Amino acid sequence: MKRTKKEFFDYNEYRDRGMAYKWDTAFAIGELQEGIKESSAESSRDLERLPQQDRKYIEYCLERSMKHNKILEVQLNELDELGRVKEPIWGNFRGFCDLDVLLIGDQYVDYGNIRYIKIHDFRKWLADPEDANTSPFEDQYTETKISEQVKIDAAFTEYFTDNEWIE
């Protein structure tokens, strides 16, 4: 099989720009349109500032996320440079990095900076439709009674003050 050089001839006095110019301009226009869409979505964002939650409920949600590998949505007490509410942080609670710094997903969050926290329970599509509207976490939260707190404190001090070091 013999290959021949491709030749393009002008048609009706029209001169084509060539592929190099077409791809260069198409790529730049695509990036420009993408940037315009992102900036318009960012400028039209208006999130509701949710109420400040109780610290005990926040601790309860963090505990549930750690034990049951649940995804959290966390709104912070911070505003962006334009005075709007920042986007919520999504992720699992992975633990404390310092006394008051949490690791949620891959972001570090100051514990005192948490305003609102919500547990998301993703279920399979074939789950029972009657259970779809109920959250398994909302009705289980109860404040710890004083007698229970005394037992918890006693177990905590017994565990951490046994003076046995593993070497």
pLDDT tens profile 14-39: 766 666 666 666 667 778 888 888 88
Residue in 42, 49, 41, 104 with CA at minimum distance from that of residue 79: 49
Cα 46 from Cα 8, distance rounded (Å): 54
For the CA atoms of 87, 50, 79, 45, what is the dihedral angle to 10 degrees? 50
Q: What is the pLDDT of residue 137?
A: 54
Q: What is the pLDDT of residue 73?
A: 93
Residue 135 has pLDDT above 60, yes or no: no
The 10s digit of each residue's pLDDT in 83-104 is 888 889 999 998 888 888 999 9
**Cβ-contact 96, 142 below 8 angstroms:** no
The 10s digit of each residue's pLDDT in 43-86 is 777 888 888 998 999 999 998 888 888 899 999 988 888 888 88
The 10s digit of each residue's pLDDT in 149-166 is 788 788 877 776 766 655
**Cβ-contact 75, 88 below 8 angstroms:** yes
Q: What is the pLDDT of residue 37?
A: 87
Residue in 61, 76, 55 with CA at minimum distance from that of residue 121: 61
Q: Has this prediction a pTM greater than 0.75? A: no
**Topology (CATH level 3) of domain 45-122:** SH3 type barrels. (2.30.30)
Residue ranges of domains in the chain: 45-122
